[in-house]
A and B are shown apart, each in its own frame.
Chain A
Amino acid sequence: MSLIETRGLCLGYGNDVVLRDVTFSIDRGEIVTIVGPNGSGKSSLLRAVIGALQPVSGSVTRAKGLRIGYVPQQLHIDATLPLTVRRFLNLPHRQKASDIAVALTRAGVPELADAQMAQLSGGQFQRVLLARALLGRPDILILDEATQGLDQPGSASFYRQIEEVRRELGVAVLMVSHDLHVVMAASDRVLCLNGHICCEGSPEVVADAPEYRALFGTGTQGTLALYRHDHDHAHDHDHGHTH
């Protein structure tokens, strides 16, 4: 049984349809990455999956008792709101101090419990968000461009943290990302969106699909070039592709 399954999902705001006919599912322990250009419906899909956006048509089915750990795209905390990391992790439900310590350690920031949220660096902030997502003992982590605003080493190290968490806890991961080269390599499956699902499959299949290349170019972009470079070295390129 899949953790989350969508069928013929159609999403929109008012009269604008941003995403149509999305059917996909994610299983226990899987890493699925969603890529696509700006405005392609990536974030909308995640919002529908967590229940924050009602579908225009189609359905989202979540497994019974599914626990979701959500890491939002950006979380702006107003400077007028005093909030320590510990207090933040106690929202909306109070947590045991020992659980908080474990979650912060897993997220790689064990020393930050008493820091003010407003004073964290970008990387620290995302790790605290990750810790908060882990506190609910999630079956699935859902990350919406969680490394936006981090530099390349910063986001690479964040994704290593995610992979480590997955190895330790066996959670599934569903994420939206722009860091194609980092993310795609770590994924079991990639979903390429542009108003609908253009193509999907293993990272290798998607990176070679013409629909994907039409969206992201064929190596002129730095990030993609880097990815394909690694990829070309790892695989014999003349076999096994279904286009």
Chain B
Amino acid sequence: MLDDFLVRAALAGLGVALAAAPLGCFVVWRRMAYFGDATSHAALLGVALALATDLPILAGVLLVALTMALIVSALSERHVSTDALLGVLAHAGLAFGLVAISLVPGQRVDLSAYLFGDILAVSPLDILVIWGGAALVALLLILRWQAMLTATLNPDLATASGGNPRREQLILTIALAITVAVAIKVVGALLIAAMLIIPAAAARPFARSPESMAVCAVAMGALSVFAGLYASFAYDTPTGPSIVSAAALLFAISTGLSPMVRGK
């Protein structure tokens, strides 16, 4: 039985996987896991801002996520050791977001929709926005692929061969904010970072090149979406967390298989 809302949910999830998986590869390669956390948790603050000012949720989230991503990006450029700082920002973003939403006057908000996503309630318009954002992110990554890879290896190396690593970092930052903004409806602020990192990590053992890793990560993400939706439908579990659980299982399986894949 192909329920309409399931088809819409699958389409929304695929859109998110399309953007998050290849972007997640860069997050993993550049060791920016906390960067993803900080940015996506700050999205809650964006929700609060939108509710308080009657902005569309998407605009509020995009604005705050972008601000947070730029702050984190600037900080990580200045300090060598940012691990603790990023941890502070990631959790502070979450805490302030929750507090801010509770302070918005006049409405009782369904918090769990923003924390864990509400993929079964996506509208056709939501799907359009998600695919629009995903297409934009994919386009940015494809256009800047070579330059971003070089900058990921070593910023000075990129500069010496005529590149501009700061620009690439900025583009990644913008792509991350867009992804967070369109993914919050699907997996929620708490689990967006998981959709970035887990499919990429699960793809690693099967890849011999950066490109094949990105493609494989998209496949892993898509598979997680289908498996999570199915589990959610069959066992009545929350959908966003089910999708992330499926991704984590895929990661465990692919890591277990990796000695065989590598022929060692």
What is the interface of chain A, defined by CB distance below 8 A to chain B?
Answer: 47, 50-52, 68-70, 72, 75, 77-78, 80-84, 87-88, 91-94, 116, 136, 142
A50-B160, A72-B154, A91-B150 known; 8 new pairs, CB 8 Å cut-off, are A47-B156, A51-B159, A72-B156, A72-B157, A81-B210, A92-B149, A94-B146, A136-B161
Task: Evaluate contact between A80 and B147: CB separation under 8 angstroms.
Answer: no
Within 8 Å CB of A142, what residues of B?
Answer: 160
B146 touches A91 (CB 8 A): yes
* Residues of B close to A80: CB separation below 8 A: 28-29, 200-201, 204
> Do A92 and B154 touch (CB < 8 A)?
no
1/0 per residue, CB under 8 A from A, across B200-228: the answer is 11001001111011000000000000000
The distance in angstroms between the C-alpha atoms of A116 and B210, with both chains bound, is 12
Q: Taking A70-B161, A93-B161, A136-B161 as contacts, is the C-beta distance between A82 and B156 under 8 angstroms?
A: no
Neighbouring A residues of B208 by C-beta, 8 Å: 82, 84, 116
CB distance from A139 to the nearest CB of B (A): 13
**A70 and B157 form a contact (CB under 8 A):** yes
Instruction: Report the Cα distance A27→B61, complex, angstroms.
Output: 54
Tell me the complex Cα distance, A47–B207, Å: 34
Task: Identify which of A50, A69, A81, A88 gathers the most chain B CB atoms within 10 Å of its CB.
Answer: A81
Tell me the smallest distance from the CB of A127 to a CB of chain B, in Å.
16
A72 / chain B contacts, CB cutoff of 8 Å: 154, 156-157
With a cutoff of 8 Å between Cβ atoms, the chain B residues found around residue A93 in the complex are: 146, 161
How many A-B residue contacts, CB cutoff 8 Å? 68
Kindly list chain A residues whose C-beta atoms are within 8 Å of the C-beta of B158. Answer: 92
Q: Are B29 and A84 in contact (CB under 8 A)?
A: no
**A92 with B29: in contact, given A51-B159, A52-B155 (CB under 8 Å)?**
no
Minimum distance in angstroms from B209 CB to a CB of chain A: 6
Nearest chain A CB to B33 CB, angstrom units: 11
A47, closest chain B residue (CB): B156
Q: How far is the CA of A116 from the CA of B213 in the complex (A)?
A: 14
Max chain A C-beta neighbours (<10 A), residue from B29, B160, B163, B204: B160
Select one of A52, A116, A136 contacting B159, CB under 8 A.
A52
The CA-CA distance from A5 to B141 in the complex, in Å, is 37
Interface size of B by CB at 8 A reads: 29
In the bound assembly, the distance between CA atoms of A113 and B205 in angstroms comes to 20
**Chain B positions within 8 Å of A68 at CB level:** 160
> What's the nearest-Cβ distance from chain B to residue A34, in Å?
16
Instruction: Among B29, B31, B156, B201, point to the contact of A70 (Cβ < 8 A).
Output: B156
Q: Give the complex CA separation of A136 and B160 in angstroms.
A: 11
Complex CA–CA separation, A52 to B159 (angstroms): 6
Shortest Cβ distance from residue A187 to the other chain B in the assembled complex, whole angstroms: 21
How far is the CB of A38 from the nearest CB of chain B, in Å?
15
B157 touches A75 (CB 8 A): yes
A91 proximity list for chain B (CB < 8 A) = 146, 149-150, 153
Q: Could you tell me the distance in whole angstroms from the C-beta of B99 to the nearest C-beta in chain A?
A: 34
How far apart sit A83 and B212, CA to CA, in the bound complex (Å)?
A: 10
Q: How far is the CA of A47 from the CA of B165 in the complex (A)?
A: 14
CB pair A83–B160 under 8 Å, yes or no, is no
* Complex interface: chain B residues within 8 A of A70 (CB): 156-157, 160-161
Can you name the residue of chain B whose Cβ is closest to the Cβ of A136? B161
Q: Which residues of A contact B153 (CB under 8 A)?
A: 75, 77, 88, 91
Give the docked Cα–Cα distance between A79 and B163 (Å).
Answer: 24
Q: B73 an interface residue at 8 Å Cβ cutoff?
A: no
Does B152 interact with chain A (Cβ within 8 Å)? yes
Interchain residue pairs A-B with the least CB separation, the first 8: A70-B160, A92-B150, A52-B159, A50-B160, A81-B29, A91-B150, A82-B207, A52-B156
- Closest chain B residue, CB of each to CB of A117: B153
- Tell me if A92 and B146 are in contact (CB < 8 A): yes
Instruction: Please judge, given known A-B contacts A81-B210, A82-B209, A87-B209, whether A50 and B150 are in contact too, CB under 8 Å.
Output: no
The distance in angstroms between the C-alpha atoms of A91 and B150, with both chains bound, is: 6
